[in-house]
Structure 1
Amino acid sequence: MINGLRTAIYPVADLAKAKQWYTKVFGVEPYFDQPFYVGYNVGGFELGLLPEGGTPATTGALVYWGVEDIEAEVARITALGAAIHGAIQDVGENIKTVELADPFGNLLCLIYNPHFDLKAVR
């Protein structure tokens, strides 16, 4: 049986700068901080920063992080240096998504989903 999402890993060229930026964006300090990997606990899920882990990209798989107020989060994160890669979209049933480009070449995607059932996470 496959369980739900556990980890999203972003490759970064400058681990120190990425660690500083993501600490501001998510508002938590890393729980695992080594020269080869930095891990954050974000709402029970893991965000990992991997130096020399490949080329940052804005194509390929997308990982969406849940938010309660997508407009406020877009304003906050763009003020920290992200760029809007794709505007906020209402994808139906009041579910909204947005793609932001982080300063390191990755997409940081957000989702507001009023139908998300936290009790179903395993």
Structure 2
Amino acid sequence: MEEKPFLGLRTVIYAAPDLAATKAWYTKALASEPYFDEPFYVGFNVGGYELGLDPNAVVAEGSTITYWGVAAIHEVLHRLINLGAVLHTDIQDVGDGIKTATVNDPFGNVVGLIENPHFHL
């Protein structure tokens, strides 16, 4: 059997034009401190995956949306909006009990949320 070339998602990078403000917002949103914190990059461990904040990255319209797994999409969506995110797409049941939603963080990045009762690590 051929070895699989992809091991899985590792890192998602979001633009952080104001690194201090972006870091503060994600620290609150994730209820977690970054594990890597330098003037050129901030990294958070989110369930074994990395969310990186890059002050040199540019928010690209129409960019790929990454969906972060959540256990309770309604609660997490309201939490992010209360922290200053703006609703991008409301919660949708996309079938078989799977729900998705997206928000724009205060810095313009689109953040996806997915509640998928069938996906387990």
TM-score by length of 1: 0.93
C-alpha separation in 1, matches of 2:47 and 2:53? 17
1:49 aligned partner: 53
Percent identity between the two aligned chains: 55
Asked if the contact 1:58–1:107 (Cα under 8 Å) also holds between the matched residues in 2, the reply is no
C-alpha separation in 1, matches of 2:76 and 2:120? 21
Unaligned 5+ segments in structure 1 are none
1:17 partnered with 2:25:
no
Kindly state the Cα deviation for residue 3 of structure 1 after the two structures are TM-superposed: 0.7
TM-score by length of 2: 0.94
Q: Please give the residue correspondences for 1:1-40 in structure 2 after superposition, counting only pairs within 5 Å.
A: 1-40=5-44
Unaligned 5+ segments in structure 2 are none
The Cα RMSD (Å) is 0.8
1:115 aligned partner: 118
2:106 aligned partner: 103
- Deviation track 1:8-55 (CA, whole Å, cap 9, x = no partner) reads 0001110000000000001110000000000000000000000021x2
Aligned residues: 117
1:83 aligned partner: 86
SS of structure 2 residue aligned to 1:100: strand
Highest Rg: 1 or 2? 2
Aligned structure 1 segments of 4 or more residues deviating by more than 3 angstroms: none
Kindly state the Cα deviation for residue 59 of structure 1 after the two structures are TM-superposed: 1.7
